[in-house]
Amino acid sequence: MANSKYEYVKSYEVDDEVFLPNFIVVQINGRGFKRFSQVHEFEKPNDEVALNLMNSCAICVSEEFPDVVFLYGFSDEYSFVFKKTSKFYQRRASKVESIIVSFFTSVYVMKWREFFPHKELRYSPSFHARVISCASIEVLQSYLLWRQTNCHTHNLHNTCLWELIKCGKTESEALELLRGTSKEEKNDLLFGNFEINYQKLNPMFRQGSCILKTEVIDIVKHRENGSPVRRLRKKSSIVHSKNIAGKCFWNNHTGLLKELGSFTNDIGKVEPDYVRSFQFKKILMPSTWIVIRIDGCHFHRFSDVHEFVKPNDKQALNLMNACAVAVVKEFPDIVFSYGVSDEYSFVLKNDSHFYQRQASEIVSAIVSLFTSIYITKWKDFFHQKELKYPPYFDGRAVCYPSVEILRDYLAWRQVDCHINNQYNTCFWELVKSGKSKSEAQNFLKGTQTGDKEKLLKQFGIDYHKLPAMFRQGSSIFWDKEDITMMQEKEKPGGNSLKRVIVEHCNIIEPSFWAAHPTILYR
């Protein structure tokens, strides 16, 4: 397929590879989960069902991505440790973290009904993700000790807090009472006032949950004579241990030794700032336009399994648009969004300080929320189709220094939309006419736009009369009339009505931007 004059914008994409021999750890945590747990009435201080849902999602990640060899989680947080030699998505931090958080989110929403059959999911949950680049096995050991120490510290505090609240204290009174208390004092409080032996509480609450892969002999099928065929395979299992960073625990698991290495010494304490210094931080350049582009992962297979109409499924595209509208409404710094097929680009204003311009926070929040909404809205668009497995997306952040280059980026995506759609329309018409897929590909090799238009006319199709959404993609932005309403909403009696527009139009032509001068500068 031909390249466009806008291809140069790809040069603004910056490499974010986590270089060997660093270990890759992806840490995810719930976005706004304090409110989420309140709205969904989770038990305090620990909801065992909610924790089991988190563990089940982590197991699915472990099984979906073989490079993830060790997992540790507590509360609304999970850490995913990749094998030392992993080449997962070329070790690109943005790809790795966005794929893990998107898949985890997808499974979380899909499994909600399994764990909470009598609780409606009232709004779409989402997660943050970040990459920790551990320079050595010792740094990894320190990281794990830090997270398990946090688990214990927070759980002990929260157990005391909620026992005090249950006995009549207000939350502020309970917090004041616990201020400055030591671990021993909290243990004494629980035992002396509430007859609770902290050490006998559920180890999942106190120690968090580990997920390990062990090799087991499994029956994979039966021969014609009925005899079983056994194969060695890896199975994920949940383990609770008092010290996951201890030499004894770690070195007793051969899989960890093989994939990650051994701990040579036990460590007693760790400085959190030391571990935080290994976070793979990418602060996006100030005063630039930030574009977050997300893409469906393996959506060719996903569209085949779910029998999407070829070359364009109107309902699937409308679902993508609905998700993008929800994301634009959730994050006010997004001023424009453009989507085609299984891809969407979100433009953040150039003076945005969203998440302090940390790439991982912005990308993961948008990808995770988009994924979550995709699952929750599936039935709105596919009433008769079951969602057969979790879809997921990857994401990246790119900065553009001027409006002109930003518009060239959007033009590049729209040109790509036209090229791909015209090709796919021809391809599927040829397949419908009886050609094999390889014959159709060979037939179209080297053809130009005019050749394809003539070919489609032979099938009775005027390409320019096809739905604009297929040819030009979808543009999403705030109605310029509603911007005034948004500015007035804080005033007494102000109209708080907000409306997001979805249009299918030519965004390459300057006339579009002249007609909507407030989009990028609202």
What pLDDT digit, counting tens, does each position of 156-167 carry?
Answer: 999 999 999 999
Enumerate the H helices of 261-402 as residue ranges: 272-276, 299-305, 314-330, 359-381
SS (H, E, C) 456-472: HHHCCCCHHHCCHHHHH
pLDDT at 490: 47
3-class secondary-structure state, position 189: helix
Q: Which residues lie below 8 Å from residue 104, measured CB to CB, with a gap of 6+?
A: 28, 57, 58, 60, 61, 78, 127
pLDDT at 358 over 50: yes
pLDDT at 495 over 50: no
Q: Work out the pLDDT band at 497, boundaries 50, 70, 90.
A: low
Tokens at 493, concatenated: 């009696």
**Distance (Å, whole) CA 125 – CA 38:** 13
Rounded to a whole number of angstroms, the distance between the first and last alpha carbons of the chain is: 37
pLDDT at 276: 82
- Among residues 426, 402, 190, which one has the least CA distance to residue 287? 402
Please give the average per-residue pLDDT across 219-228, as a whole number: 77
**Distance (Å, whole) CA 290 – CA 363:** 10
DSSP assignment of 100-119 equals HHHHHHHHHHHHHHHH-TTS
**Distance (Å, whole) CA 295 – CA 105:** 15
Amino acid at 389: Y
Q: Work out the pLDDT band at 235, boundaries 50, 70, 90.
A: confident
Ordered by where they begin, the domains of the chain are 13-155+238-280 (3.30.70.3000), 289-413+468-482+493-515 (3.30.70.3000)
**Distance (Å, whole) CA 430 – CA 459:** 9
Q: Give 119-122's long-range contacts (Cβ < 8 A, gap of 24+).
A: 119/40, 119/41, 121/40, 121/376, 122/39, 122/40
418-439 per-residue burial string, b: 16 or more CB within 10 A, e: under 16: bbebbbbbbbbbbbeeeeeeee
Do 390 and 417 contact (CB within 8 A), yes or no? Answer: no
pLDDT at 226: 78
pLDDT at 517 over 90: no
Please give the average per-residue pLDDT across 423-433, as a whole number: 95
- Among residues 51, 80, 45, which one has the least CA distance to residue 240? 51
Burial class (CB in 10 A: 0-12, 13-18, 19+), 131: buried
Please give the average per-residue pLDDT across 13-36, as a whole number: 95
Enumerate the H helices of 222-336 as residue ranges: 247-251, 254-259, 272-276, 299-305, 314-330
Enumerate the H helices of 25-136 as residue ranges: 33-39, 48-64, 93-115
Please give the average per-residue pLDDT across 380-385, as a whole number: 95
Pairing of strands 127-134, 228-239: unpaired
Mean pLDDT of the chain: 92
Give yes or no for a cis peptide into 45 (omega within 30° of 0). Answer: yes
pLDDT tens column, 175-198: 999 999 999 999 999 999 999 999
**Distance (Å, whole) CA 268 – CA 178:** 25
Q: Work out the pLDDT band at 346, boundaries 50, 70, 90.
A: very high
Q: Work out the pLDDT band at 493, boundaries 50, 70, 90.
A: very low
46-50, 213-217, 314-318, 431-435: least confidently modelled range: 213-217
Please give the average per-residue pLDDT across 381-398, as a whole number: 96
Q: Work out the pLDDT band at 277, boundaries 50, 70, 90.
A: confident
pLDDT tens column, 108-146: 999 999 999 999 999 999 999 999 999 999 999 999 999
330-347 per-residue burial string, b: 16 or more CB within 10 A, e: under 16: ebebbbbbbbbbbbbbbb
Please give the average per-residue pLDDT across 73-88, as a whole number: 97
**Distance (Å, whole) CA 78 – CA 74:** 7
